[in-house]
Amino acid sequence: MFVSMSDGTVQWFHSDGTFNRVLPTLVGGHAEGMAFDASANLFVTHRSPGNTVETFNPSGVRLGTFGSGYNCNPNSIVFGAGGNAYVGQADCSADVLKFDSAGNPLDAFDVAAELRGSNWIDLAADGCTIYYTSDGTNVLRYNACARAQLSNFNSMPLPGSPPPLGMGAGALRILPDGRVLVADYEVIVLLDASGNEIQRYDVLGEPEGWRGVDIVGDGTFWASNFSSGNVYKFEINTGTVLATFNAGPANTVKAVAVRRAPTAVFARGRMTGGGSIFTSLADSGVPPSTRVTHGFELHCDPARKPNNLEINIHTVPGSRFHLESLTFALCTDDPTITPNPPAAPFDTYEGKGTGSYNGQSGATAEWIFTDAGEPGVNDRIKKLIIRDAGGNVVLNIPEPGHPLTYGNHQAHK
């Protein structure tokens, strides 16, 4: 995990928040938004006097600068699926600039601004829609494929105060299911896929100053507070603070960026299957040797349909979970699993969702399913937790879970 600093450097932390080392800068200017390309190289935007984008390889060795033609304060960067980069600029033309993977300029988009241009940007899964903030009270949108300004994403103004009372909306991240996280200075805001505010995040005693945010990919996110220099890890669904550390003095900590192995995470594909396992003394919520059966079809992108999951707990009386909404999905390749044959580039499906338990809505489930190839005897329910509408855990199968006694899991491209 990486934290950009006002002196132009970037601090590199391990995933648990322990300090690794500092990446020095040779260009100057505040280090701001960051992103990773498909090779896990780090790209760091720098405001004036640097006024460029600096790059580092996965080991933290400086590679040089990227792109050209920045006119005022490049502030954020994001990569599309094809490898092209988009850079948001805070001032002057405030255009979003597009570059190929080698840094050659491809296009410039004259997006509408509130107060500070295309300050913080992210790219939707369609590869066309740029979501951005401009130190104001909105999440703006622009379709780069159609070269058209779109309506604001948020249905109501964001709660954070814009200048001069505050700093307005800062960094934002689009979640796989279409929800959007916004560091809104006074609080961090979660908007649903329709742009409605559904949750706020804050820490008691922490000053106003939330500016940086990035998702981890496991249902959590990191956020940075400019006013305190503190960095926090939150659980998205509950708002629980899971970790915290201080990255520097007040008014020095800018943005955060989380690096995951790009080759190990897949946004497309699906997993299907079903079967049964039998619980053990390591599990809770049901007696040992309880049979648990399941059947499912789940996409790596929650926005793709259908997404179905049925889980039956064969106690007396029996119990049943029915998935109604897939809220999180992560498809990865576990190097310790070697499916034979490998039908897809991933073998592990981690998911979370809401649904009904014994007919009552408001229940939740989280799970990890694996595909170890045919004939399915090594496929696993690696993890399975079901909570009823009251939040009570009715089934808890912790990792490493159990291999299927009957059935099969199949990953598909």
Superfamily of domain covering 2-260: TolB, C-terminal domain (2.120.10.30)
Tokens of 57: 């390889």
Q: 335: Cβ–Cβ under 8 A, 6 or more apart, which residues?
A: none
CATH 2.120.10.30 placement within the chain: 2-260
Report the share of the chain in percent with pLDDT over 90. Answer: 77
Q: Is the pLDDT of residue 252 over 80?
A: yes
Q: Which of 9-23, 42-56, 157-171, 343-357 has the highest mean pLDDT?
A: 42-56
Mean per-residue pLDDT of the chain: 92
Over residues 33-46, the pLDDT tens digits come to: 999 987 789 999 99
Tokens of 144: 């780069």
Q: Is the pLDDT of residue 265 over 60?
A: no
pLDDT at position 267 is: 66
Q: How confident is the model at residue 341 (pLDDT cuts 50, 70, 90)?
A: low
Q: Is the pLDDT of residue 279 over 80?
A: yes
Over residues 287-317, the pLDDT tens digits come to: 999 999 999 999 998 888 999 999 999 987 8
Q: Is the pLDDT of residue 149 over 70?
A: yes
Over residues 351-381, the pLDDT tens digits come to: 999 999 999 999 999 999 999 887 778 899 9
Distance between CA atoms of residues 66 and 55, nearest Å = 7
pLDDT at position 260 is: 64
Q: Is the pLDDT of residue 261 over 70?
A: no
Q: How confident is the model at residue 328 (pLDDT cuts 50, 70, 90)?
A: confident
Q: Is the pLDDT of residue 170 over 50?
A: yes
Phi-psi region of 67 (alpha: psi -120 to 50; beta: other; left: phi over 0): left
Q: Is the pLDDT of residue 262 over 60?
A: no
Mean pLDDT of 138-146: 97
User: Is residue 311 within 8 Å of 365, Cβ to Cβ?
Assistant: yes
Q: Is the pLDDT of residue 338 over 80?
A: no
Tokens of 239: 């708002």
pLDDT at position 413 is: 84
Report the share of the chain in percent with pLDDT over 70. Answer: 97
Q: Which range among 120-124, 136-140, 177-181, 260-264 shows the weakest confidence by mean pLDDT?
A: 260-264
Give the CA dihedral 194, 198, 200, 201, nearest 10 degrees.
-90
Q: Which of 36-50, 200-214, 252-266, 319-333 has the highest mean pLDDT?
A: 200-214
Of 199, 175, 196, 200, the C-alpha closest to 187 is: 200
Q: Which range among 117-126, 249-258, 302-311, 343-352 shows the weakest confidence by mean pLDDT?
A: 343-352
DSSP per-residue letters across 71-113 = -S-EEEEEE-TTS-EEEEESSTT-PEEEE-TTS-EEEEE----
Q: How confident is the model at residue 167 (pLDDT cuts 50, 70, 90)?
A: confident
Mean pLDDT of 212-237: 95
Give the CA dihedral 54, 56, 60, 61, nearest 10 degrees.
-100
Q: What are phi and psi of 262, to 5 degrees?
A: -60, -30
